[in-house]
Structures are given as structure tokens and as C-alpha cells.
Amino acid sequence: MKTRIKELRARYDLTQEDLAKKVGVRRETILFIEKGRYNPSIKLAHDIAKALQTTIDELFIFDDE
């Protein structure tokens, strides 16, 4: 799974710390999601998408293979 979190963070000038505080998680959680090393719950994915003014579909790119 790939994400566009980093790209969208840059667009809204948000650091990992800022985004983590907005969605109420630890900074490392955002880091691991960005790297594709942690799969967030639907609730967290929704919160991140909302904070970045996008949708879950736009934010997470699933590789069918």
C-alpha cells in the first residue's frame, strides 16, 4: 500500500507533528503510515483524509498484486 500523505502534507504545509496532533496520534504512527509500514484503522484513515481535505480513496493507493 502506498500513500499520498507526504505529498498532501507538503501541499498544506503540515509537518508530521502537526498532522499527528490534528488526528490525535503519535508522530511515529504518521511516519510508519507514510512509509507504508503500518495499516491504519478505517477511523484513522478517515481522520487523516479529512485533515488533508481529501478522501480515503485518494489518499491510499492499493496495489492489487
> Which residues contact other proteins by CB under 8 A?
1, 17, 20-21, 24-29, 32, 35-41, 43-44
Q: In the complex with other proteins, which residue's Cβ is closer, 8 or 60?
A: 60
Q: What SS3 state is found at 60?
A: strand
Q: In the complex with other proteins, which residue's Cβ is closer, 14 or 29?
A: 29
Q: What SS3 state is found at 50?
A: helix
Instruction: Kindly state the smallest distance separating residue 41's Cβ from other proteins, in Å.
Output: 6
Q: In the complex with other proteins, which residue's Cβ is closer, 7 or 17?
A: 17
Supply φ then ψ for residue 26, to 5 degrees: -80, 155
Determine which helix (DSSP H) or strand (DSSP E) holds 2, and give its type and residue range: strand 2-3
